[in-house]
Amino acid sequence: MSETTGPKMVTLTIEGRTAVVPEGTSLIEAAKTVGVLIPHYCYHPGLPVAGVCRMCLVDVEKFPKLAPACATTVMEGQVVHVHSEKAREARTGVLEFLLINHPLDCPVCDQSGECELQDYTFQEGRAESRYEEPKRFNPVEDFGGDVLYVPNRCILCTRCVRFMGDVAHDPVLNVSERGDRAFIGKADGHDLTNVWAGNVVDLCPVGALLSKDFLNKARAWELDRSASICTGCSQGCNITVETRDNTVVRLKPRPNEAVNQYFMCEHGRLDYRWINRRDRLDQPQVRRADGALRVADWEEALDAAADTLRGRRVHVLASANASNEALFLAERLMAASGGRGWFRIARGAEAPLPGVPDLSLRAERAANATGARLLGFEELTGTPAIAPADAVLVLDDTLDGELPAGLVEALVRGATLVHAGTTLPAAIAGRASVVLPLTNHTEEEGTFTNLRGRVQRFLQSRTAPGLARPSWFVLGDLAERLDASAGFALPAEVFGAMASAHAAFSGLAYERLGLRGLPVLDAEARGLTVTDAVSA
């Protein structure tokens, strides 16, 4: 096979459907390509194959025995039956075995509703057990980190052991003992403190590994879910934001081969409480003649903001978690007036997940520093050069709740300040002429650009507090007042304008980003390694 031709393709029949897949593909993956999900427990596409649960046994013509679909590779002309009598019997057999010692505690189990044991039992239809003996019992164990182990529910699929060993390269879990005495074990003093350890909870197909953070918080079926992007660092892990009654209760990784495969780190996963904070800015405010900030309506506040900025050089101090769309509109204000844009960013230690190429908890702990840079913002180092005649727009930069040194001095000497943000730190409240309440990234939609130049969409998952408006909407209205340009009705329109105005984003269309994102076109030229330039 030469380098230019793709892998050799193999054609086979699965449940009467023709599948054409690359040589070496497993039956279980080949079946997915034709819409057949073969029930399984131990198999996970992000982990090495174990072949131990025996749930995915399928009937392959000319094979003497049922074959595990996860550990059997495709062969030309193969005919595979997933729902033959023989295969179905084997599956119901496995389910019965897995359930004999499994407690019927679904009513109090966090996994209930998203449990593969429940799902397959329902799907394969074995409602009754013939088991009459006492059930095995072992106490719940705290595995450290965010993880609890409930051995009674464990089906020994070993996904967690393989994740910690083969993906995290931190083998702190094992299978201990043997036979039906076996359980998932760990060594004393070696807890699941790895920053990637929380993935074992997602990987667990049953309720054996639980998140302490999510413990007893909600039933799976009460949750609303929407696609989003983690703001914990610049990796841009694809996530699902799960809310209950408009409150974010859990973040889960959303598969994206090109970014985070199936995983996310604990830093991102557990850092969501700020999204739900109650002290949000929820009404526009304008500083009155008496020197106090007072509530205003949006029209008045936007007019006041425009007046504050008009005729001055507008500098923008933006959050590195602002969307590309908001940053683009802010950048237009800067560009039109000759101002500059800065962002500040928190940093931490880089923590790679060794088993996945180019996946790491990044040192830059914000989602869109790359987008900011591409759009002409620079990281603020030292004192910003702000003249007394300038204006400053703070775009949700609430780092430390303090304004950067130099900005305060400039304000004292006559510079003006408009604050558009989700919260109002005291340091800003004392200085801003106008305060515009914005939605946070879970309350609006937009895009982030990750450190590899991949532009990824996030969707709205909860409603905004009070009168807060999406950042792109507010900045669009502000721009309309300042330069008489037309406003924007949709984030897609802002994105379109950005793509035509900025070479980096040219050729990209909001709709085409899908939910997995696309790389910016000259990412490579900019030294941004693009891991998967063709995937859409």
Partner 1 sequence: MTYGPSAGQLVRPPAHHHDEPYVPVFTGERREKLDVILSRYPTRMAALLPALWMVQDRHGWVSEHAVEEVAQVLDLSPAYVKGVLSFYTMYHQHPVGKHFIQVCTTTPCNVCGAEDVVKAFLDATGCGELGLTSDDGRFTVIEVECLGACGFATPVMINDEFIESVTPELAARIVAERD
Partner 2 sequence: MGYPHASHGRETPVLSKYFGDPDARTLAGWRARGGYEALEKALGMDPAEIQGIVKDSGLRGRGGAGFPTGIKWSFMKPDGKTHYLCCNADESEPGTFKDREIMRWTPHGLVEGVALGAHAIYAETAYIYIRGEFTEPIARVTAAVEEAYAAGILGANAMGTGRRLDVHVHRGAGAYICGEETALMNSLEGRRGNPRIKPPFPAVAGLFGKPTTINNVETLTTVPYIIKHGAEWYNGFGREDNPRSRGTKLFSVCGNIARPGNYEVTMGFPFGEFLNELCGGALPGREIKAVIPGGSSVPILTREEAEGALMDYEGMVAAGTMLGSGGVIVFDDRQDMVKQIARLARFYAHESCAQCSQCREGTAWTTRILERIAAGEGHARDFDTLLSIGENMSGKTICVLSDSCATPVASGLKKFRHEFEAKLGPDRSRAVVPVMLTSNRTAAA
Please give the residue ranges that form the binding site for partner 2 (CB under 8 A). Answer: 49-55, 57, 65-66, 68, 71, 89-90, 93-94, 96-98, 100-101, 130-139, 155-156, 175-183, 185
Nearer CB in complex with partner 1: 174/485:
174
Cβ atoms 271, 240 nearer than 8 A: no
Nearer CB in complex with partner 2: 127/484:
127
**Residues 135-154 interacting with partner 1 (rule: CB under 8 A):** 136
Q: Does 165 bind partner 1 (CB under 8 A)?
A: yes
- Measured CA to CA, the distance from residue 367 to residue 143 in angstroms comes to 30
Minimum CB separation from partner 1 for residue 90, in Å?
24
Q: Does 130 bind partner 1 (CB under 8 A)?
A: no
The three-class DSSP label of residue 343 is strand
- Measured CA to CA, the distance from residue 113 to residue 110 in angstroms comes to 8
Cβ atoms 481, 358 nearer than 8 A: no
Interacting partner of 65 out of partner 1, partner 2, none (Cβ under 5 to 8 A depending on kind): partner 2
Q: Does 278 bind partner 1 (CB under 8 A)?
A: no
Minimum CB separation from partner 2 for residue 41, in Å?
8
Sheet of 79-81, strand order: 17-22, 9-14, 79-81, 57-60, 67-68
Interacting partner of 286 out of partner 2, partner 1, none (Cβ under 5 to 8 A depending on kind): none
- Measured CA to CA, the distance from residue 209 to residue 217 in angstroms comes to 15
Minimum CB separation from partner 1 for residue 177, in Å?
5
Interacting partner of 53 out of partner 2, partner 1, none (Cβ under 5 to 8 A depending on kind): partner 2
Scanning 19-27, 184-192, 224-232, 249-257 for contacts with partner 1 by CB under 8 A, the matching segment is: 184-192
- Measured CA to CA, the distance from residue 160 to residue 151 in angstroms comes to 13
Minimum CB separation from partner 1 for residue 167, in Å?
14
Sheet of 416-421, strand order: 293-295, 285-287, 434-437, 416-421, 391-395, 314-319, 341-344, 377-379
Q: Does 188 bind partner 1 (CB under 8 A)?
A: yes
- Measured CA to CA, the distance from residue 208 to residue 147 in angstroms comes to 10
- Measured CA to CA, the distance from residue 125 to residue 95 in angstroms comes to 10
Nearer CB in complex with partner 1: 176/500:
176
Minimum CB separation from partner 1 for residue 173, in Å?
6
Interacting partner of 101 out of partner 1, partner 2, none (Cβ under 5 to 8 A depending on kind): partner 2
Nearer CB in complex with partner 1: 171/487:
171
Nearer CB in complex with partner 1: 180/299:
180
- Measured CA to CA, the distance from residue 12 to residue 80 in angstroms comes to 8
Scanning 92-100, 105-113, 168-176, 260-268 for contacts with partner 1 by CB under 8 A, the matching segment is: 168-176
- Measured CA to CA, the distance from residue 335 to residue 311 in angstroms comes to 13
Reported residue count of the chain is 536
Minimum CB separation from partner 2 for residue 49, in Å?
8
Q: Does 178 bind partner 1 (CB under 8 A)?
A: yes
Nearer CB in complex with partner 1: 143/505:
143
Minimum CB separation from partner 1 for residue 151, in Å?
14
Please pick, from the candidates 11, 33, 123, 176, the single residue that binds partner 1 as defined by CB under 8 A. 176
HSE toward the beta carbon, residue 146, CA cutoff 13 A: 21
Minimum CB separation from partner 2 for residue 139, in Å?
6
- Rounding to the nearest 10 degrees, give the CA dihedral for residues 358, 47, 184, 120: 130
In 124-176, DSSP assigns E strands to: 141-142, 147-149, 173-176
160: region left, alpha or beta (phi > 0 left; psi from -120 to 50 alpha) = alpha
What does the binding site for partner 1 look like in residue numbers (CB under 8 A)? Answer: 133-134, 136, 165, 170-181, 185-190
